[in-house]
Structure 1
Amino acid sequence: MTRRAVVQGVGHYLPDRVVENSHFEATLDTSDAWIRERSGIERRHFAADDQATSDLAAFAAQAALDDAGMTADDIDLIIVATSTADMTFPSAATMVQNKLGMTRGFAFDVQAVCAGFVFALANADALIQSGQANTALVIGAETFSRIMDWTDRSTCVLFGDGAGALVLRAEDGQGTTDDRGILATDLNSDGRYRDLLYVDGGVATQNTGQLRMEGKEVFRHAVEKLAKTAHTALEKVGLGADDVDWVVPHQANIRIIQSTAKRLGVGMDRVVVTVQDHGNTSAASIPLALSVGKQRGQIKPGDLLVTEAIGGGLAWGSVILRW
């Protein structure tokens, strides 16, 4: 028998405020057509002034628990992937733990920017495999609208706020790729590329800072590294692109998604795309896409999924799981 971390439920939350591309036309040299053509994004959601990242995370977590038919009392572990935690400390995860009324188990944050959810899933899988936890809430949540430079048209039109969550539970499998649950992970980082995507603030500067990005370079690294990490993870369990039912990528840019799918050898008819409706929500984008993909009827029990993401650091990785 092999202990597997199996998905029991999925959910997401998007703030009520919807911001269409046309919103930016009054203050920036941009247009709805320009944004759509270069990113595929049509709209995004922004958190209300009184909403913090932990609030969005808690809403998504509750939706995932409801989908799983479970309560917070059933959960041993919470991991929140975020780069926009409410405070320097304590962690957003402990705040979510409190909001859910959970007084047992343990909770912590993971910070790998847009790759955060992949890193969080890998951590949850390891903790479940080791027996440290039997159940886990893995959440990606962001309020990137709080760190945007609204004068920079190359970045501020790309990002949005939101949250998504998975409930995982330990189950015994046969040790084959037919098992449900997480089958393989692949994580990478390279700090030489830190200046390609970063926030120019923090404890050292004593201010929050704003997001800065070298878009062309990030695009180049993304296409190359995302396809490679997905292939590597598949090879770990002896699978290939033909075995994949759905690729659920980080929803950053439709051109990155299309180029990566082409390199993987997977048609766009097997790629879950949601970027048009919420923009780049960083660590939240993969669980958001998983939740929407299930709602649409695309993702079904037994499907083999590849998730992959890249973010500041640079940090990137992938997870292979059977739904």
Structure 2
Amino acid sequence: MRARISVIASYLPARTLTSDEVEQSVSGYRPPRGIVERMTGIRRRHVAAPGQQASDLAAEAALRILAPLAERGGPRGSAVRLGTSDGRLGSPDGRLGSDAPGGRLGSNAPGVGLGSAAPDVRLGSGAPEARHGVQTPGVRPGPQTLGGRPDSQTAGVRLGTQGPGVEAPGVQGPGVQGRGVQRRGVQGPGVQGRGEGGAGQSGQPEVRWADGVVRPVERGDIDLLIFASASQDMVEPATAHIVAAKLALTCPVFDVKNACNSLLNGIQIAEALILTGAHRRVLVCTGETPSRAIRWQVRDRAQFVDSFAGYTLSDSGAAVLVEADADRGIFYRGFSADSTAWAIGTLPGGGSAHPRDPDYSYFRGDGRRLKEAFELVGPDLFLDALKRTGMHWDDFAMVAVHQVALPYLDFLARSLDIPEDKLVVTLPEHGNCASATLPLQLSLGPWQAGDRVALLGLGGGISLGVMLAEM
């Protein structure tokens, strides 16, 4: 008996912010033009709609794989509607990312934790501090902004591009000399030539059914829901309850949180419970709303650098169905951690350490120290997976890797000797989607039924994870 990943669905909010718009939205200090894209390779990221919560994003993804809900009478027979005052737990004033009084962008729900990093930024002089509470920056509405834009280069551009004044390991100047990993258009079943990590005609990545047959899942067939995310709607109750209510599920539920490795750990737990016989069909979902934790008003250059990782983050949702299978499924998993590095990247507000101070409601981190911490742990966890299974990267249809910045993805790919054509590069057009990154790559990747896939996770704290599966 194995536990098989049988369905994957992603949900990408239609609203986007380009890196240029992000820089223009920062006040109190004027960052050098183009620094965010030069440092990270990110052109745009997704932003949840006003009042849209983490549970909404998870529910939107899950609804894509569930059978239509039959009309039934009574309050227990109806799922809570998404995006409404009675079901969304949203903001009364309709501002982007308002989870706190005043409803302004940058306020975030208590206890949200993220695990992302960006390389160190070396910038110029700062500016006086601006007041807290920034208005919603410009966003581009509509699904037409998803995927490659007409003026973007969709092939031949390599990871690790950097500009003047930018330090990134293993990369040489503008134009990208050296090895690098190519951004490439992804072709495969259900992908239909979207371009580099792009979306289908509906503005959403297609739902991927591992056996190639569309079989919407009945709610009564799901016997456990795990909400596995760095984000959450609130401290109490578990966000899984809110997701289940919106989906009209009546099964047991609980939350799992481990920064950007949350969903990978959720699948790990689902597999273990299936192998023990406790459950047979587990829905693991995530909803990430890190845009609520971006600091838009900074005092000076130093605070901009401290807040830089937040400018890479993207809102998104994903749902993965894990079920018992006699033949195919997950055949290897490994996890490790170095918890001495927990303070390098944090979102400290909402817990017992800082329960109410709004200044702690923004993501902060040292990208260089976080990269060094991952380097100290080393690549052994990932390479041991190959040794113990007697496999090579060429044995996999794709290798999904958590992506926070293109220079670091290039560094990791070179360190592990992952072939370029095995990577699905989602970062430029979708940003750092936190724990939803790996399922997004599975949604877009060129695999078919029976193919092997590798999932490589990285999360703040710090944590590493690897999972090998036959689809």
Same fold? TM cut 0.5:
yes
Q: Are 2:443 and 1:291 aligned? A: yes
Q: Which residue of 2 aligns with 1:162?
A: 316
Q: Which residue of 1 aligns with 2:61?
A: 60
Offset at residue 32 of structure 1 (A): 6.6
Kept in 1: contact 2:289–2:316 (CA 8 A): yes
Structure 2: how far apart are the matches of 1:32 and 1:20? 12
SS at match of 2:326: strand
Offset at residue 30 of structure 1 (A): 3.7
Point out where structure 2 has 5 or more consecutive residues left out of the alignment: 68-206, 208-214, 299-303
Q: Which residue of 1 aligns with 2:188?
A: none
Bigger radius of gyration, 1 or 2? 2
Q: Which residue of 1 aligns with 2:460?
A: 312
Q: Aligned letter for 1:62?
A: L
- 1:1-323 correspondence to structure 2 within 5 Å: 3-28=1-26, 29-30=30-31, 33-65=34-66, 67=207, 68-103=215-250, 105-150=251-296, 151=298, 152=304, 154-173=308-327, 180-204=328-352, 205-207=354-356, 209-222=361-374, 225=377, 227-293=379-445, 298-323=446-471
The 1:30/1:301 distance shift into structure 2, 3 A limit, reads farther
Q: Which segment drifts farther, 257-266 or 189-198?
A: 257-266
Structure 1: how far apart are the matches of 2:61 and 2:362? 26
Q: Which segment drifts farther, 249-258 or 53-62?
A: 249-258
The 1:227/1:299 distance shift into structure 2, 3 A limit, reads farther
* Alignment root-mean-square deviation, CA: 1.9
Q: Aligned letter for 2:355?
A: Q
Deviations 1:150-201 (A, max 9, x none): 233522321011011211110112xxxxxx2111111122220011111121
Deviations 1:218-276 (A, max 9, x none): 22334565733222233333323332321101121222222212222211211011111
Point out where structure 1 has 5 or more consecutive residues left out of the alignment: 174-179
Deviations 1:39-86 (A, max 9, x none): 121111111221110000001112234654212222111112112210
Q: Aligned letter for 1:112?
A: N
Q: Aligned letter for 1:272?
A: V
The 1:131/1:233 distance shift into structure 2, 3 A limit, reads same
The 1:86/1:160 distance shift into structure 2, 3 A limit, reads same
After TM superposition, the runs of 4+ consecutive aligned structure 1 residues lying more than 4 A away are: 223-226
Give the percent of matched residue pairs that are identical in Structure 1 and Structure 2: 30
SS at match of 2:312: coil
Kept in 2: contact 1:245–1:304 (CA 8 A): yes
The 1:259/1:215 distance shift into structure 2, 3 A limit, reads same
Q: How many positions carry a matched residue from both structures?
A: 310
Structure 2: how far apart are the matches of 1:117 and 1:299? 20
Structure 2: how far apart are the matches of 1:313 and 1:16? 30
Bigger fraction of residues in strand: 1
Bigger fraction of residues in helix: 1
| TM-score normalised by structure 1 residue count | 0.89
